[in-house]
C-alpha cells in the first residue's frame, strides 16, 4: 500500500514536470520577458527623439494656425477683427 501511494505521487510529480516542460516550450516566458525588456530599453533610449519630433509637429501646426489667422484677419472687412483676436466667421 505504501508503495502504491508512493508510485501515485511520483506519477503526479512526473506529470506535473511534463506539463511544465511543455508549457515552457509552448509559451517560452523567459524569451518573452527578455523581448519586453529589450523593447523597454529601446523606448527609453528613443524618448528624446520622439519628444523632438512631437515638438516639431506642434510648432509646425502652431505656425500654420498663426498664418491662417493672419490671412483671415487681413481679408476680413471688419477693422475690429484685425489683430490677434480670432475671426468669428471661422
Instruction: Please give the helix or strand (H or E) that residue 90 lies within, else none.
Output: none
Count: domains in the chain:
2
Q: Which of 9, 26, 45 is the last residue of a domain?
A: 45
Model confidence pLDDT, tens digit, residues 10-64: 999 999 999 999 999 999 988 999 999 999 999 999 999 999 999 999 999 999 9
Residues 39 and 50 in one domain: no
Residues 84 and 69 in one domain: yes
Domain with 6, as residue range(s), is 1-45
**What pLDDT does residue 66 have?**
93
Residues 10 and 41 in one domain: yes
Task: Report DSSP letters for 30-87, one per residue.
Answer: HHHHHHHHHHHHHHHHTHHHHHHHHHHHHHHHHHHHHHHHHHHHHH-S-GGGSSSSPP
Residues 37 and 7 in one domain: yes
Residues 8 and 34 in one domain: yes
Residues 90 and 50 in one domain: yes
Amino acid at each position: 500500500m505504501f508503495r502504491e501511494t508512493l508510485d501515485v505521487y511520483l506519477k503526479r510529480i512526473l506529470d506535473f514536470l511534463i506539463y511544465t516542460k511543455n508549457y515552457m516550450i509552448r509559451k517560452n516566458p523567459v524569451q518573452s520577458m527578455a523581448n519586453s525588456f529589450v523593447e523597454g530599453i529601446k523606448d527609453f533610449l528613443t524618448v528624446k527623439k520622439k519628444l523632438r519630433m512631437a515638438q516639431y509637429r506642434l510648432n509646425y501646426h502652431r505656425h500654420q494656425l498663426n498664418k491662417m489667422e493672419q490671412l483671415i484677419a487681413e481679408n476680413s472687412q471688419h477693422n475690429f477683427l484685425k489683430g490677434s483676436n480670432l475671426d468669428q466667421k471661422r
